[in-house]
Chains A and B, each alone.
Chain A
Amino acid sequence: MAFTLYTLLQTALLCTNAVAVLHEERFLSKIGWGVEQGVGGFGDDPGVKAQILNLIRSVRTVMRVPLIIVNSVSIVLLLLFAVSLELRNPHRTGSFWSCRAVPGAQDALRKLRQASVAIKFVTNTTKESKRNLLERLQRLHFELQEKEVFTSLTAARSVLEQRQLRPLLLLEESALEDFTGIDTSEPNAVVIGLAPDCFNYETMNKAFRMILDGAPLIAVHKARYYKRKDGLALGPGPFVTGLEYATDCKATVVGKPEETFFNQALSDLGCSASEAVMIGDDARDDVGGAQNAGMLGILVKTGKYRDGDELKISPPPHLTCGSFPDAVEHILNQLL
């Protein structure tokens, strides 16, 4: 905690208040520090106690009115500061994936469906299977089916199927479900997701030796770190980078904002990039990535959005709007 000038001022104010509040009758006299009790004989040099008593009395007299003013100003400033903090960092609710739905999102989705556009729900998760995500959304009254959900794990699976690879899957238990049906015997490829249990020396060494022998390295995404309950924790990115360095190879990254991710989702939808729109709260990974792949991008100001994000990508988003329902209105009125 930095000991700032503000802290010093605050301390001084509190001390002054503490002295001014000492009551003459109810307290000071009772402890022998009353106004008559410290003075020595007339003509004697005032002792230390007398000097302190004089100080206390002066503070109480002189500072009475100024303290009223300074205290009031401090209280108002503190309240304003706290309010502005809250406004700048309101509790994040997320665009779609979280415990609270964005108000009006369920209806907006229904309207979108009535306009008969094909919809894909895309996310970079590597810890949850499609089924878990689906359950969470359906509990929030969103109407969607499993085949409409496309995650970075789905993207990885598509790559494996297209290239007919047998992977060593370095993934959490819950994510393995999305790879049922893929042959993992005698692996000839390495797939890395967010899997702290797999990031030990032995498993990393095994993956390293495979890649050195020619196995392709597929990274579900390259996040540097993520937020856990107990603090920041390393994501898969550092381990992928380490393996790339060790083997002098480049990993195929399949999650957002890679083009591969969006191309796979589009091919699943059966439409071309120019016929598609991406709605997301992450300027770089969602909107930037989609626009690079040739799609239109709409940035919503919910979730992880921060003021000024729309200026961080070039070209800027096709549209920046309040939330998902606003994006849907725009699509229905302007783009269809």
Chain B
Amino acid sequence: MAAAEWSRRSQSLKGVILDMCGVLYDSGAGDGVAIPGSVEAVQRLKQSDLQLRFCTNETQASRETFVAKLNRLGFDISVDEVFSPAPAAVALLKERGLRPHLLVHHGLLPEFESVEQKDPNCVVLGDAAEFFSYQNLNQAFRVLMGLEAPLLFSLGQGRYYKEGDGLNLDVGVYMKALEFACDVKAEVIGKPSSMFFHSVLRDMGLQPHEVLMIGDDLVNDVGGAQSCGMMGVQVRTGKYRQSDESHASVRADGTEADLRRAVDLLLVHRDAPRTSS
């Protein structure tokens, strides 16, 4: 059975990376709602000998605001355990001397305060939600068309995420729209970019085969992790859909009901005494 299979292999793991939205909590009115069992699951992981990091493509708020929200929901998480695309983008922009035209959620703007934005020579897209108005998109489009070498960055390439009781369009959709309009290819910062995953692994000081990724997005969480050499387990919460289990190209190492169940299976074999084989 698939569940037993992947959890047996977990004995050699030294670290776990968790997706956040759809695994720990669901977006919704106010702070959203913690997924039942996730708070305890995170605590158990912290008490274990596994290294723990959190990876999110959340770009509607700065990391500080975002982590404060999770603390309020009961999660024991600190900012330096969280990896999100915005800081990675800022580092990349500075490194390459780029000045961005930002089409991002207002809550994310503080992350870009230290970056020069006058006379932009590239466009950065984030999960802008209602800020994805026709005017804003047209403005970004015109900036790109006015550049001799159009440069488009996208903080993630997700198709949708769960909000309230329905699914909402994510940044990937608008990335594809601008790619089509301007005939350019966007550079993705964040999951599933391997550069992004490797920066997390470097921080943990671990090799890919020693780490497990747990997420609700089959392509960007599980698929992205597997491309780097990590194990990937999908949970049936958040944006999970039945059709994910018969996806054409990505096959998760395991599919579990929720984070609580996944952590149970993960730790049961680690707590058990090693059997000689």
Contacts and interface: CB of A to CB of B under 8 A. Distances in A.
A234 B181 contact: yes
B180 A199 contact: no
B138 interface: yes
A237 interface: yes
B47 interface: no
B142 A232 contact: yes
Contact of A202 (B130, B138, B159): B130
Contact of A224 (B133, B137, B166, B180): B180
- Interface size grouping (class) on chain B: 20 to 34
Contacts of B172: 245-246
Interface string B116-131: 0000000000000111
Interface in B143-172: 145, 159-160, 166-170, 172
B177 interface: yes
B178 interface: yes
A205 interface: yes
Contacts of A239: 177
A246 B166 CA distance: 14
B174 interface: yes
B167 A238 contact: no
Contacts of A196: 134
Contacts of B141: 225, 232-234, 238
A247 B170 CA distance: 12
Interface string A177-221: 000000000000000000011011110110011001000000000
A242 interface: yes
Contacts of B138: 233-234
B260 to A, nearest CB: 28
Given A234-B138, A234-B181, A201 B130 contact: yes
A212 B239 CA distance: 13
B181 A243 contact: no
B176 to A, nearest CB: 4
Q: Which of A199, A224, A238, A243 has the most CB of B within 10 A?
A: A238
The A interface is mostly helix, strand or loop, or mixed, namely: helix
Given A199-B134, A234-B134, A246 B142 contact: no
B268 interface: no
A199 B177 CA distance: 12
Contacts of B240: none
B150 to A, nearest CB: 13
B3 interface: no
A221 B166 CA distance: 29
A205 B168 contact: yes
Nearest to A224: B181
Interface in A211-262: 212, 224-225, 231-235, 237-239, 241-248
B129 A201 contact: yes
A241 B145 CA distance: 18
A242 B174 contact: yes
B73 to A, nearest CB: 25
Contact of B145 (A208, A232, A242): A232
A245 B173 contact: yes
B6 interface: no
Q: Would you list the 9 A-B pairs with minimal beta carbon distance, nearest first?
A: A238-B177, A242-B177, A242-B173, A241-B180, A238-B181, A245-B176, A199-B134, A246-B173, A201-B132
Given A234-B137, A238-B178, 7 more contacts: A200-B133, A204-B169, A232-B141, A233-B138, A245-B172, A246-B159, A248-B159
